[in-house]
Structure 1
Amino acid sequence: MINYVTLGVRDIAAAKRFYCDLLAEIGAKLLIDGQRIVFIGKSMTDPMLAICVPFNQEPATPGNGNMVAFSPGSTAAVDALYKKALALGARCEGKPGERMPGIFYGAYVRDADGNKLCFNHFLKHF
């Protein structure tokens, strides 16, 4: 259903390094490399993450309440992505753990531009 999600960034080269290194952990790679926008994902037919310098040339700012969630497939993979994001310069917004006991396990970070990311795993499927 979702084709891609876009995050605005100030420094496209730094953001590209951060997201390509981080998302390589779950099999994603750089798919399209434009001057102002890049697309990262597993394939052009799977959901992708786009990062870009805003078209209107105004400063990139994160939206309050906006967040992109990545599901790496296990709680151990959530922990690994959280640690990798911190190592790449992200800041903690919530350490890994159960948020809804027995249902949802997640960890939260903000990238260098303040965009909020979630790494999550559903423990129970309905």
Structure 2
Amino acid sequence: MIGYVTVGTADLAKSGAFYDALLGTIGATRFMEEPNYFIAWAKAQSEPSLGVAVPFNKEPATVGNGTMVAIALDTPKQVDAFYHKALELGATSEGDVGFRPADAASGFYAGYFRDLDGNKLNAFCIVE
């Protein structure tokens, strides 16, 4: 149902390098780009994508309160690696990897972080 999600950035080059390195770990590459404005990544053009953009209205990029982008992965090991790669690239933790609720042994497994511009993301999988 979701085609793409875009988050704002104050520095397109810096954000582009962050997402190149992070999304490259799950096989996503740049597939659409407009210089000095917008970059989008996806595993394939027919799949949902994530984009970063300098706000069209030229106002400062801000973080949406309650807004979050969730990256679906297949296993807890992939979630762990993606989350730790984000932190390695300069993201900040918003909730360490693990099950939600914490005492569960299956179900929703996720790690939460904020990118270089403060946008909130998570990496998650469902464990049966």
Indicate whether the TM-score tops 0.5.
yes
What is residue 116 of structure 2 aligned with on the other side? 112
Q: Deviation at 1:20? A: 1.2
Q: What amino acid sits opposite 1:72 in the alignment?
A: L
Q: What amino acid sits opposite 1:41 in the alignment?
A: A
Q: Deviation at 1:50? A: 1.0
Separation in structure 2 between the aligned mates of residue 32 and residue 12 of structure 1, nearest angstrom: 14
Separation in structure 2 between the aligned mates of residue 32 and residue 95 of structure 1, nearest angstrom: 32
Root-mean-square deviation over aligned CA pairs: 0.8
What is residue 39 of structure 1 aligned with on the other side? 40
Please list every run of 5 or more consecutive structure 1 residues that lacks an aligned counterpart in the other structure.
Answer: none
Identity %: 45
TM-score by length of 2: 0.94
Please list every run of 5 or more consecutive structure 2 residues that lacks an aligned counterpart in the other structure.
Answer: none
What is residue 24 of structure 2 aligned with on the other side? 24
What is residue 49 of structure 1 aligned with on the other side? 50
Deviations along 1:90-119, one digit per CA (max 9) or x if unpaired, are 001000000132210000000111100100
Separation in structure 1 between the aligned mates of residue 73 and residue 11 of structure 2, nearest angstrom: 26
Classify the secondary structure of the residue corresponding to 2:25.
Answer: helix
Separation in structure 2 between the aligned mates of residue 62 and residue 99 of structure 1, nearest angstrom: 24
Deviations along 1:13-50, one digit per CA (max 9) or x if unpaired, are 00011011101111100101212001101111100001
Separation in structure 2 between the aligned mates of residue 108 and residue 4 of structure 1, nearest angstrom: 19
